[in-house]
Structure 1
Amino acid sequence: MQSIQTDAICLPIPDIYLAEVRFDNARETGTFIVEHMELSEDDLVYVTGPMQDKVGTVIDVIYHCKIRPSKYERVVAKIDTDLYGKFIPLEHLWVTFDRPCMDKDKMRLWFLSPLADGECVDTNGFTPFPLHDLDSFPISYIRAQRGESYYEEHRVVYICLDKSKGYAIVQGSEYYEVTFTYIDGKIHDIVCNCYCEGYCKHEYAVLLQLQDLIGHWMLDYDSNYRESEYMAAIDKTVAWNMSVSRRQKEIIRLTEDSYEGFIIYED
């Protein structure tokens, strides 16, 4: 555990303390209990209570004080905003084949509180179809059109494929989670946690984005995927806002030469 220096006395950070958190979107500030978690100023967090769906920024920590636990809501998660590794620029996305860099559990917190509703399960049954033939996907024409608009508007802000299991975040009126299975060129199931009955525009947008990504890596990066059995992509604007623009102590280098571009962070 880290320690703090006060008047030449080194004190350990206590297991329970207070943090003041600002919620920019809501223009509100509150004080929250922190338990068994190390926080510093500028860390991004989620909390319990009325602001549980908002990302908050820590603006102060109060380590040594008297706390009445029943008076405060709590910090429930710290968002890991670090991105280390190689990224290939592809249109509005940065793509990586390094599993530790952007795994699903880490990236979910960029968009959704751990207290938010989780993934859904579809019990209606599903007939697998080739990804290259989206006419086989049982979705209405209107929803497919809306899904195509979502894809063109870059609303699929995160997508990953870990062996056969896929996961994506789509930005609609809120962030929605889409899970799918992709084996031997076929989609074997897909489900979104939105409230739409039947198949939805979020799922269709994800299928179009997956088509696009696979089309590029099959041409240039198939060996990378076969080696790692993992691929993830993040929207460049999201990566900049959540990670790159927040880094002050590291040297950030971004080079881009066709598809050979990558980002390197150095201490």
Structure 2
Amino acid sequence: MSEPAGPPNGSPDATANLRAGLRKLVREKPKSGGWQIGTRLRNYFLTGLVIVGPVTITLYIAWWFINVTDAWIKPFVPAPYLPDTYLPFAVPGFGLIVGFVVLTLIGALAANLLGRTLISFGEQMVGRMPIVRNVYSALKQIFESVVSATGPNQAFQKVGLIEFPSKGLWSIVFVTGETTGEVGAVMPGGEEDLLTVFMPTGIVPPTGFVCFLPRRNVLFLDMNIEDAAKVIISAGMVTPESQAKLREMAEQARRKQKG
């Protein structure tokens, strides 16, 4: 005698059994915790990398800068004034302190009449040298621009977007100020408000293009100079939003350690 056939696939009993099985699969937790442990270890490692990596690299760059400055300045300091002469170990950062003091004294000297006279005499001497005067003039303009950029009220401390290199493609630029002088006078539409912007390249950020364009073609951003530089140097991988997320992850890791 043959066994009785089960309920057909489309019957209510088969549908109920299928639903019960799906609910059981959803409610069941995986017995193996290996995957969860691996995920936690990966998250802990990435959090530790986010916290330790920037600090380590910053300390390494600072240590390298101090050593290079000491190697440049210490040979010009007489031995009786060096603490290394009296101590059994080298004192890092002494050359940096000496350099800071010397630059401050030179700046104070240049503020009075005698200092300005000496500087003017030295510039006249340099101006008579055919090749040296061009190099000195270019370097002086660069340093004056960098120093003036530290002012909190300067117009070039703004970040914007311009449509470059073609329509629909946008690039980050630093607005350096309003276009004046001969360039602003000879450009078409001289009555229009023109701006001078610097567009850095992604591969070598100190290099870039100087552009003159109407103010209406520049979209100003609330982003500061530091955040814009990070976006350019990291090829867009580091954004203010991602930095905020990393800070949030680091704060969560600290809370877990305290808890």
TM range (shorter): under 0.3
**Please, what TM-score do these two structures have when normalized by structure 1?**
0.22
The structure with the larger Rg is 2
**Of the two structures, which has the highest relative contact order with CA contacts closer than 8 Å and spacing of 6 or more?**
1
**Larger % of helix: which?**
2
**Larger % of strand: which?**
1
**Please, what TM-score do these two structures have when normalized by structure 2?**
0.22
